[in-house]
Structure 1
């Protein structure tokens, strides 16, 4: 006959505190804006998440996220570190970038005067860039082919200003006015 345990069931928090994540701890680095991992026993640090094996490929992120998700439930870790590691596992990335800039990283750039060594402003950032029409143009260029639109409007305006053939009535009126001007000049000379 099996005896039932009279001990109360453990809560999830108690289960996490009794299970170990090992000596590794996730630490946030403000300079790189990423997590690095520190082994409390060996004092070793790494940008690569130690819970991923060396043979894992980024394409196998789904299996890695399942195993790491189970690990998070077993350990009491900083909640942000767990969320970050899970995000990295699902996106297929590994740890920080080790200081190397890659696509999408925050990058700054400075311009210096070759003679004085002073900082110089970016020549593309002029006051005209912040005018109402320049802002509208930049916003329209994102969604539309704004240059083609402006060209089409210019052609339509030029077509409207072209000389159209005059009607018979307009020709007669123009001839009559020209004759009247000539006669008026003749009469003014005689006075």
Structure 2
């Protein structure tokens, strides 16, 4: 018994062998065992884009007006011109009358005032040009058309119109294109105003002419009467007698 126990103790003291490393082929799972993921793509939920509809040809043409810096629309079939775009659909209807607190008659008058106030001043100028058979694009060249249109819009708000010099950028008078404005006298006067006070000089000259006219009227000889003529004859006769008095002595 003692021999067996000693042998067992010696065996227990001996170191245990180290474990052998397992091969990677055994530990790693086979490539065929790995789950495969399908590479198929799902169909897109969006429908294919449809081609935009082709706009039908129209007789309206948009023409740019340089003097008003805006576009107006011209119908080649009916020869009609307008500032509102006829191709834009009308705006949706407003809220029902039940939700509004104003009476029906007031709403109708306000709508009428809004329509009249929306008409710009240049639209009236265009209409006046069309009525006289003038090209609307050249209406600004005729000062009579600008004078014929009202100076205030239907809403009561005053509207103003001005002209500018194309070279200097200064304000130009409304009668700048009249023949009297381009006469030699007016041109010389405008050039002299740059260096001299022409208005004060003309006023001083007018006062001098008025003073001379008054002085000449006062110094004007009065027409002699009949008695003055007889008296002058008598004095002349006496002088003649006095000169020849020595001959009679």
TM-score strictly above 0.5: no
User: Which protein shows a greater Rg?
Assistant: 2
Structure scoring higher RCO (CA < 8 A, sep ≥ 6) equals 1
Query: Which TM-score applies when normalising by structure 1?
Result: 0.30
Q: TM-score, normalised by structure 2?
A: 0.25
